[in-house]
Amino acid sequence: NAGVMQNPRHLVRRRGQEARLRCSPMKGHSHVYWYRQLPEEGLKFMVYLQKENIIDESGMPKERFSAEFPKEGPSILRIQQVVRGDSAAYFCASTRGANEQFFGPGTRLTVL
């Protein structure tokens, strides 16, 4: 029973490029959450999605960041025109509902 899968595990981008992070939830889970972990800081909530719907995006920066969870396929976190401050570990978690969130291994984004 595979856990939450994220890819790529490591991503290097130059300033101004786009970053696309993918998350496949655990089997049977239809709720996906994205969190960001900056160096020396705790995990910060970004966005909560269900299939084809954004439920809560209160933690998402207003510009350059977007997320989707289509009917088919993984959830995508997209960062346009990346800046050095976007360098962080991005984690995806999934649940069946309002229960324990199970996390993936993360994508470590480095912006040069």
Partner 1 sequence: EDQVTQSPEALRLQEGESSSLNCSYTVSGLRGLFWYRQDPGKGPEFLFTLYSAGEEKEKERLKATLTKKESFLHITAPKPEDSATYLCAVQGSGATNKLIFGTGTLLAVQP
Interface with partner 1 by CB under 8 A: which residues?
4, 6, 31, 33, 35, 41-45, 48, 55-56, 58-59, 91, 95, 97-106
| Shortest Å, Cβ 76 to partner 1 | 18
Amino acid at 19: A
Q: How is residue 4 written in tokens?
A: 């939450």
Q: How far is the CB of 37 from partner 1 (least distance, A)?
A: 9
Dihedral angle of Cα 90, 97, 24, 81, to the nearest 10 degrees: -40
Task: Return the number of the residue (34 or 79) whose C-beta is nearest partner 1.
Answer: 34
State whether residue 95 is helix, strand or coil.
strand
